[in-house]
Amino acid sequence: MGSFRYLSWLLILSVVLEGVTLEVQGLAINWGSRASHPLPASITVQLLKDNGFDKVKLFEADPEPLKALGHSGIQVMVGIPNELLEPLSSSVQAAINWVSQNVSTFISKYGVDIRYVAVGNEPFLKDYKDKFVKTTFPALQNIQAALIKAGLGRQVKATVPLNGDVYQTDSGLPSGGDFRPDIRTLMISIIKFLSNNGAPLTINIYPFLSLDADPNFPVEYAFFDGKGAPVVDGSITYTNVLDANFDTLISALEKNGFGSMPVIIGEVGWPSDGTPHANIQSARRFNQGLLNRINSGKGSPKRPSPPDIYVFALIDEDTKSVDPGNFERHWGIFYYDGTIKYPLDMGNRKSLVAAKGVRYLSRHWCVMAPQASLTDPNLPGGTSYACSYADCTSLGYGSSCGNLDARSNASYAFNMYYQTMDQRRGTCSFNNLTVLTVIDPSRDGCRFEIMIDTGKHEKAPSPSTSSRGKHVPSLLVLLHIVTLIFCCMY
């Protein structure tokens, strides 16, 4: 009987341990704040917890998100914007003050579990034309010194999130990887400094951008389901660009004596709108493959142990710069209000959970009036003005609202302005072109939004004012709107 009882307990223990090994260990994600109507911080933190995210990266030290993350069980990487690199690089005291205000205070007073400080954001991006080359490393050194002075040198590590363009391969294969010649010496200095302080190298990898920038890029190679032609590099076969890109970095580290350097993937994801390749189907396919990979504990061929991977991003941000492309405002796995864009298996057969407790403005939409004419000379200027203050990137070519007829196209622009301006009186008044409706005009995958009620009531600029040069959106969006309207006039 004793032997039977022992075997029974052993069997139960083995089942319990098996369940533990299969349990998802947690997920990491980016939480951006460039939104006209941000999801309240407390609701966002609950959204993170409900979906199993136990690590989050913030792009700046926003007080409300940091306070909400206190005692949440979520580990935090807090960012320093590039515009602060210069003052932080030239003054140790400035770094000490920054750490005191944005790290020490939130750890001690609010119980925020800050693990990393991200010094800058992709500061060596080629598009910046060396703007931050001289300030990034000194800023990193000063922040590290400030962390040590604050007694946080072991608890909080300083790192620099870098774009994947800091390395390259002349052979076209991962084994040929090395750092970009113009910043190679600087990169080695930074990596050595990080290594000496026990900090990881952080790199952002974007298969989507490779596809979007190159019409000849093999589409299937961007995804994880092995449908594309493999790339053979000696004894290693690569079936997706994330592995190949990551191992190009690992080869660069090995060539320069840092083969065991810990690496974090700070950003990787797929947008759902804004260009033909940025759509719901591709975003779901990529992000589900990414989550499956993370949850399975799979690394790359050269680094079988998986790095921390921060998915980009949690929610859409409707005021982000569209200089890189209209897709920039649509990286979230959730819409701006925390509603679900597409289903995802988060691991252990758990589905995405939407945000709870979100308050909206009233169910009114601003649309083109039935009696208004498409030939009205005020129409092109009205829609252009509306989109100069609101996000119309979903109207672009190949986007979710890109196939609307001219009347619906104008309605979308007017409604986005009305919603962005908190439905204030007078913001659905465009020279008798518009009317309010309680009937949702959304259709065919094109969402006519109603914004979150943020409780803010600043004075809205009137459509009749002359300040039309501010907040100009992508020229392509405006041209698309005007083209659609005029094409239907004749």
pLDDT tens over the chain, length 490 residues? 444 343 333 333 333 333 333 334 579 999 999 999 999 999 999 999 999 999 999 999 999 999 999 999 999 999 999 999 999 999 999 999 999 999 999 999 999 999 999 999 999 999 999 999 999 999 999 999 999 999 999 999 999 999 999 999 999 999 999 999 999 999 999 999 999 999 999 999 999 999 999 999 999 999 999 998 999 999 999 999 999 999 999 999 999 999 999 999 999 999 999 999 999 999 999 999 999 999 999 999 999 999 999 999 999 999 999 999 999 999 999 999 999 999 999 998 899 999 999 999 999 999 999 999 999 999 999 999 999 999 999 999 999 999 999 999 999 999 999 999 999 999 999 999 999 999 999 999 999 999 999 985 344 455 644 333 334 444 445 555 555 544 444 4
Catalytic one of 18, 60, 83, 122: 122
- The answer to whether the beta carbons of residues 88 and 142 sit under 8 Å apart is yes
Count Cα atoms within 13 angstroms, Cβ side, for 64.
10
What is residue 388's predicted lDDT score, i.e. its pLDDT? 98
The three-point CA angle 45-48-53 to 5° equals 135
Catalytic one of 23, 60, 254, 267: 267
- With helix as H, strand as E and coil as C, how does the chain read? CHHHHHHHHHHHHHHHHHHHHHCCCCEEEEECCCCCCCCCHHHHHHHHHHCCEEEEEECCCCHHHHHHHCCCCCEEEEEECHHHHHHHHHCHHHHHHHHHHHHHHHHHHHCCEEEEEEECCCCCCHHHCCCCCCCHHHHHHHHHHHHHHCCCCCCCEEECEEEHHHEEECCCCHHHEEECHHHHHHHHHHHHHHHHCCCCEEEECCHHHHHHHCCCCCHHHHCCCCCCCCEEECCEEECCHHHHHHHHHHHHHHHCCCCCCCEEEEEECCCCCCECCECHHHHHHHHHHHHHHHHHCCCCCCCCCCCCEEECCCECCCCCCCCCCHHHHCCCCECCCCCECCCCECCCCCECCCCCCCCECCCCEEEECCCCCCCCCCHHHHHHHHHHHCCCHHHCCCCCCCCCCHHHHHHHHHHHHHHHCCCCCCCCCCCCCEEEECCCCCECCECCCCCECCCCCCCCCCCCCCCCCCCCCCHHHHHHHHHHHHHCCC
Check for a shared fold between 25-329 and 365-487: no
Look at the domain 365-487 and name its fold: Methane Monooxygenase Hydroxylase; Chain G, domain 1 (1.20.58)
What is residue 479's predicted lDDT score, i.e. its pLDDT? 52
Is residue 254 annotated as part of the catalytic site, yes or no?
Answer: no
| Whole-structure pTM value | 0.89
Tell me the domain boundaries of the chain: 25-329, 365-487
CATH hierarchy code of domain 25-329: 3.20.20.80
Is residue 122 annotated as part of the catalytic site, yes or no?
Answer: yes
